[in-house]
Amino acid sequence: MHASTLSFRSAVILGIAGMIFGIVMAASGNHSTYPAHAHLNLIGWVSLFLIGIFYRLHPALDTSRTALAQVWIWNVATVILTCGVAAIFMGHMEFEPVAIAGSLIILADMLLFAYFVFRPERSTVGAMRSIPAE
């Protein structure tokens, strides 16, 4: 599976989960966990979809194992962070280390993604020069 495909599919699943989360909050009248809902939507739906677009635009990277691992790590860390934040806002401060762990994993994973974004492009310009002009 390509990193972009996993990223798009995960974004949609987490987006649906975020919407259901929001509907449950609205139906219950209890909006105390809205920060977790916001994290899930922003990090799970929006960020993952944008990551998928980047990988789709970089086909060589899209097929790499490291990019695929980056997306898997992002998924797992998003769930960890969301659960930790939700627990905290439901009054369970003992879950603060869970939220901290999730946020640090996401940060580390963003640094890996930043490496992909800022690394020099591997272009075909050099290969094009070896083609004789007509």
Per residue in 27-41, pLDDT tens?
Answer: 999 999 999 999 999
Q: Against a cut of 0.75, is the pTM above it?
A: yes
Q: Report in angstroms the alpha-carbon separations of 125 from 61, 63, 103, 129, 132.
A: 18, 21, 40, 6, 13
What is the pLDDT at residue 120? 82
What is the pLDDT at residue 123? 55
Which residues of the chain fall short of a pLDDT of 50?
Answer: 124-134
